[in-house]
Structure 1
């Protein structure tokens, strides 16, 4: 792997009792996770006083197709070793569809590969993948029926749908925005998402996934969509944030990003009464 494939984006800072280091493994063309996650954790810091720093490794990906996604997966171990050099507390593997393209429950294998690579490098860390985070968060919420918005071409959206359904969660409806260039995905306007989500079939759904992709910007629209739709709204980014906080043992206290991250969400069973 060349230096162009893996670069450190944030220099390590001295780690104190109130600072947690978060490692990110992202596609080389990703422009969203390194903006949305720091903003979410900034809000967490405002409430709790806990500080968070971010340290990234990048794996080549330009177009969201099966071939490039599988090639990216092959670099996960090398990326984990690189980012673990910063002695991070947790590593988030932030490419949901790259993992899901490998087949049912592939997040378990990917997370194991990353954890073993970090440990072999002498810096063990907790690991969360966006794919695993999305599925586990829905399960943690008690969601049995969901609807979702994805930026991908229809075949990849269908693959994500089947992956979620393989975890025992029915996908009632899915809207595919038919974008395959990853930079173009990152340039989509999140302010359009509430209107798009209103077009979903949502009969008796327990949650809506507003962005089933870590590259599609969604943070500015999450709270608005949740308020309008009247059901919990999550995204690949908010689910990943939720899992990072759980791995660190920190209670969510994030404002303006939906009930999941406010610390006030209830399970679907409780909402059903």
Structure 2
């Protein structure tokens, strides 16, 4: 039996990354032999504002260094909007820089970002046009939409829930998500991004929204898990993980 250490670079006020990604990988343990442990390092952030996000991102190098001391096998940077607020394509810059930190510490580990994972996950599904639900204030949501569009993916519908306090994002009721999506125009999209944020819980609604829309549904947490499994060269079948984690991608 092979054991993997999963490192997570987490905003200090994030309480969902360390529940949803472990839940997915523990569900995978029911059908696959590999086992996972989870190890986190935190960077300070309480409010989802551009200023706090930039200050927080500067702390990510320290987190990568700390996690590499534990010789983790893969790292996930758990704040999609922090990456996207740093400019188009920054997910590549960030993952390369943080990987170098692990190399310089003698414990090289691949680093995936939730921002890059979401973009790659949408592409893997073959989706050209998506609908997006995000918890952020409208200006930050529009920035996320433009980041995705810059990657060559059309966002034809989006909804900003306008929650600024990060703990309030985590407290958003997952049961509200199907109703939110039902109010959006999704008939012409190829996929639905149910949560463009690893802090907004959404796993429990994925199957329902896939049934509601008839479309593949992914979230930042699902995409990050998928990207981590690929970085570890493991199969991507995870029960309850939606279409992207069906094992076909």
- Give the counterpart of 1:195 among 169, 179, 194: 179
CA distance in 2, matches of 1:249, 1:224: 30
Partner of 1:129: 113
- Give the counterpart of 1:155 among 121, 129, 139: 139
CA distance in 2, matches of 1:263, 1:198: 27
Find runs of 4+ consecutive structure 1 residues off by over 6 angstroms: none
CA distance in 2, matches of 1:194, 1:109: 35
Q: Give secondary structure in 1 for the equivalent of 2:29.
A: helix
- Give the counterpart of 1:180 among 158, 161, 164: 164
- Give the counterpart of 1:254 among 238, 241, 246: 238
CA distance in 2, matches of 1:136, 1:252: 14
Q: Give secondary structure in 2 for the equivalent of 1:210.
A: strand
- Give the counterpart of 2:151 among 167, 187, 192: 167
Normalised to the residue count of structure 2, the TM-score between the two structures is: 0.98
The aligned length equals 249
CA distance in 2, matches of 1:67, 1:58: 17
**Structure 1 residue 201: Cα displacement:** 1.2
**Structure 1 residue 200: Cα displacement:** 1.3
**Structure 1 residue 264: Cα displacement:** 3.9
Gapped runs of 5+ residues in structure 2? none
| 8 A Cα contact 1:126 1:247, kept in partner | yes
Partner of 1:237: 221
Deviations 1:59-79 (A, max 9, x none): 000000000000011011111
Normalised to the residue count of structure 1, the TM-score between the two structures is: 0.90
CA distance in 2, matches of 1:118, 1:95: 19
| Structure having the higher Rg | 1
Q: Are 2:101 and 1:117 equivalent residues in the alignment?
A: yes
Q: Give secondary structure in 2 for the equivalent of 1:20.
A: strand
Gapped runs of 5+ residues in structure 1? 1-16, 266-273
CA RMSD of aligned residues (A): 0.9
Partner of 1:36: 20
CA distance in 2, matches of 1:140, 1:264: 10
CA distance in 2, matches of 1:129, 1:171: 20
| 8 A Cα contact 1:76 1:113, kept in partner | no
Partner of 1:4: none
**Structure 1 residue 159: Cα displacement:** 0.2
Q: Give secondary structure in 1 for the equivalent of 2:198.
A: coil
Q: Give secondary structure in 2 for the equivalent of 1:252.
A: coil
Partner of 1:51: 35
